[in-house]
Amino acid sequence: MPHQQFKSCIKACYECAEACNHCAAACLQEQDVKMMARCIALDIDCAQICELAAAVMSRASESSEMVCRACAEICEMCGQECARHQMEHCQQCAQACKRCADECRKMAATA
């Protein structure tokens, strides 16, 4: 199966999507939700592109490299925003985003 070579990237994408979805939901419970607006928006964007990247890699789609390059960029943006906030959910999301960006860049470089 050709998609097996992308297994660690697919896993990182799913874990990042989960972390981003959790972070967005947790940010909505924060006292100053307006201050978290950019974080929430980036969490949503990141979760969706991570899910897309995992799906195209699972299908061994010819667009996998392109999608993973975009995913890495959005993960980087989201991770940087989350890292600015001290809440544990944001810090965990920032770490997941960094792992996913690294995996996506590796995947795109070897595809």
Instruction: Name the residue ranges covered by the structural domains of the chain.
Output: 2-110
This prediction has a pTM of 0.95
Residue 50 pLDDT > 90: yes
Once rounded to an integer, what is the mean pLDDT over residues 67-77? 98
32: region left, alpha or beta (phi > 0 left; psi from -120 to 50 alpha) = beta
Residue with tokens 């980036």: 42
Q: Compute how many other C-beta atoms are within 10 angstroms of the C-beta atom of residue 94.
A: 22
Once rounded to an integer, what is the mean pLDDT over residues 13-26? 98
Give the pLDDT band (50/70/90) at residue 43. very high
Q: Do 43 and 17 contact (CB within 8 A), yes or no?
A: no
Report the alpha-carbon distance of residue 39 to residue 61 in Å, rounded. Answer: 30
Encode pLDDT of 7-17 as tens digits: 999 999 999 99
Those residues whose C-beta lies under 8 Å from the C-beta of residue 91, and which sit 6 or more positions away, are 82, 83, 85
- Look at residue 3 in the predicted model and tell me its pLDDT: 65
Tell me the pLDDT of the chain averaged across its residues. 95
- Look at residue 16 in the predicted model and tell me its pLDDT: 98
Please say whether the structural domain 2-110 has been given the CATH code 1.20.1270.360: yes
Residue 101 pLDDT > 60: yes
- Look at residue 1 in the predicted model and tell me its pLDDT: 44
